[in-house]
Structure 1
Amino acid sequence: MTAPYQQIAAELRQRIASGRIRPGERLPSTRTLMREYGVAMATATKALTTLQQEGLAHSLPGVGTVVGPPARSRPPKDAVPSLNREELVRAAIAIADAEGLAAVSMRRIASDLGVSTMALYRYVGGKDALLLRMIDTAVGDFPVPAELPAGWREVIETVARQQWKAYQRHQWLPSAITLGRPQVLPNLLPYTDAVLRAVAGRLDPSEALYAAITVFGYVRGVALNLEPETHAEQDTGMTADEWADDQVDQLAAMIRAGDLAGFRALGMPDGFDFDYDLDVLFEFGLQLVLDGLERRLRLR
Structure 2
Amino acid sequence: MTNEPPYLAIAAELRRRIRSGELSPGDRVPSTRAVTREWGVAMATATKALGVLRQESLVRPEPGVGTVVLARTGRGTGSDTGSGAGSGAGPEPEPLSRERLVAAALELADAEGLNGLTMRRVATALGVSTMTLYRHVPGKAELVRLMADAACGEVPLGPVPPEWRVGLERGARWLRGVYSRHRWMAHAMASFTRPVATRNAMAYTEWVLRSLRGTPLTHTEKLHAHLLIFAYVQGLSMADDLEEQARQDTGISDGEWMEQNEPRFDAIQAGGSYPELNSVTSGGGFGLDLDALFEFGLQRTLDGIASMIDETSG
TM-score (norm 1): 0.74
**Structure 2 residue aligned with 1:294:** 306
1:229 matches 2:201: no
**Structure 1 residue aligned with 2:275:** 261
**Structure 1 residue aligned with 2:285:** 273
**Structure 1 residue aligned with 2:165:** 153
1:184 matches 2:203: no
1:208 matches 2:190: no
* Counterpart-to-counterpart distance in 1, 2:141 and 2:236: 25
**Structure 2 residue aligned with 1:74:** 56
**82, 93, 98: which is aligned to 2:111?**
98
**Structure 2 residue aligned with 1:132:** 145
* Counterpart-to-counterpart distance in 1, 2:123 and 2:195: 28
Alpha-carbon deviations, 1:104-128, whole Å to 9, x = none?
Answer: 1112211211222222112112221
Are the aligned partners of 1:167 and 1:173 in contact in 2 as well (CA < 8 Å)? yes
**159, 163, 170: which is aligned to 2:182?**
170
TM-score (norm 2): 0.71
Q: Structure 1 residues 237 and 117, CA, compared in 2 at 3 Å: closer, same or farther? A: closer
Query: Any idea what SS the aligned residue of 1:125 has?
Result: coil
Are the aligned partners of 1:266 and 1:272 in contact in 2 as well (CA < 8 Å)? no
1:238 matches 2:252: yes
Query: Any idea what SS the aligned residue of 1:115 has?
Result: coil
Mean CA deviation greater in 259-268 or 125-134: 259-268
* Counterpart-to-counterpart distance in 1, 2:255 and 2:194: 36
* Counterpart-to-counterpart distance in 2, 1:274 and 1:17: 51
Alpha-carbon deviations, 1:25-66, whole Å to 9, x = none?
Answer: 9xxxxxxxxxxxxxxxxxxxxxxxxxxxxxxxx971565525
Are the aligned partners of 2:145 and 2:197 in contact in 1 as well (CA < 8 Å)? no
**Structure 2 residue aligned with 1:39:** none
**Structure 1 residue aligned with 2:70:** none
What is the one-letter code of the residue matched to 2:207? A
* Counterpart-to-counterpart distance in 2, 1:22 and 1:257: 57
**Structure 2 residue aligned with 1:86:** 99
Unaligned 5+ residue runs, structure 2? 12-29, 37-42, 58-88
Unaligned 5+ residue runs, structure 1? 1-15, 26-57
* Counterpart-to-counterpart distance in 1, 2:288 and 2:145: 33
* Counterpart-to-counterpart distance in 1, 2:34 and 2:266: 37
* Counterpart-to-counterpart distance in 1, 2:281 and 2:112: 40
* Counterpart-to-counterpart distance in 1, 2:101 and 2:6: 33
How many residue pairs match? The answer is: 248
Are the aligned partners of 1:61 and 1:98 in contact in 2 as well (CA < 8 Å)? yes
